[in-house]
Amino acid sequence: MLDDVVQRLARHPAVQGVALCGSGLDEVLTPTSDIDLLIVLDDAHANLRTGVTCIDGRTGDLMFATAREIAEIADAESRLDAGAWVGMLASHLERAEILCDQNGALARAQIQVRRSDPAAGAAPGAAYRAWNKLNYDRQHNRRMLASDDPDYAAALDARLLYGLSDAFTGYFATRGLPWQGEKASVRYLREHDPAFLALFQQAMAEHDLSAKFELYERLCEKATAPVGGLWPDGATSAHLRDPAGASPEAHAEATAFIASLFEDG
């Protein structure tokens, strides 16, 4: 039972806190629900990040945090990077049920998260990264679609597996929405943008490569719409080292510089 597991963890000298997250918070678990635990360890075990085990016949999905990371959440005065590990921990902690808290650190961090929502929104630069990746991959995927080489077609089949996933997750990044997992994202789209969800599901079910690619392009177009849309054919574009500082002006300047390198003198 979960209670027995928590008691065992609480007795371990390396464990400083345990919190229940995710679907385990629901009053009634479905047969396929897993149990998500956030476990705070001392800094000697900083190399651990995630793990999986079996708890009461269910999948136990484990996230590990160090005492230092929990202190960082408690002391955060501005929004954390929701794409970084500490920001993701903060997002999970906001709704978590604290089951063990040896020194009160989890409670302090949770109070801070709920007071200031420091992990709200997408990570700084996430919109730019998603926009650039979707456009870059789409450009190469179009090139591969035009080939009559069967190896190109097989490679494109594989690339679209993650290309559709990137369009799905990119939808949230370009709108400044924090990523909270696939189930939460499906529920969000069902309520706020059922047309995008239907298009994604249609693309996933499509077997014809050309038709699948057309649906993929439409998803990319919709996903990138808030941050500049798709690159035109033959476009020059730069990718900056620091996405968090990738202002439209900085991107335009870098793109113009690249273009100048290839212009006829």
Residue 262, φ and ψ in degrees, nearest 5:
-115, 5
The pLDDT of residue 118 = 53
Tokens of 242: 């620091």
- 87 contacts 130 by C-beta, under 8 angstroms: no
Single pTM value for the model: 0.75
Domains, in order of start, for the chain: 2-116 (3.30.460.10), 126-262 (1.20.120)
CA distances from 102 to 7, 11, 42, 107, 139 (A): 12, 10, 11, 10, 53
State the Cα–Cα distance between residues 144 and 136, nearest whole angstrom. Answer: 13
User: Smallest Cα–Cα separation from 131: which of 83, 185, 171?
Assistant: 171
What is the amino acid identity at position 236? T
Tokens 């300047």, residue located: 253
User: Smallest Cα–Cα separation from 119: which of 71, 50, 39, 180?
Assistant: 180
DSSP labels for 38-75?
Answer: EEEE-GGGTT--EEEEEETTEEEEEEEEEHHHHHHHHH
User: Smallest Cα–Cα separation from 35: which of 48, 49, 19?
Assistant: 19
The pLDDT of residue 221 = 98
The pLDDT of residue 81 = 72
pLDDT in tens, the chain (265 residues): 888 999 999 999 999 999 999 866 765 667 778 899 999 999 888 899 999 999 888 899 999 999 999 999 999 877 777 668 898 899 889 889 999 999 999 999 999 988 875 555 555 588 899 999 999 999 999 999 999 999 999 999 999 999 999 999 999 999 988 777 898 899 999 999 999 999 999 999 999 999 999 999 999 999 999 999 999 988 899 998 888 778 888 889 999 999 999 887 5
State the Cα–Cα distance between residues 249 and 247, nearest whole angstrom. Answer: 5
The pLDDT of residue 248 = 86
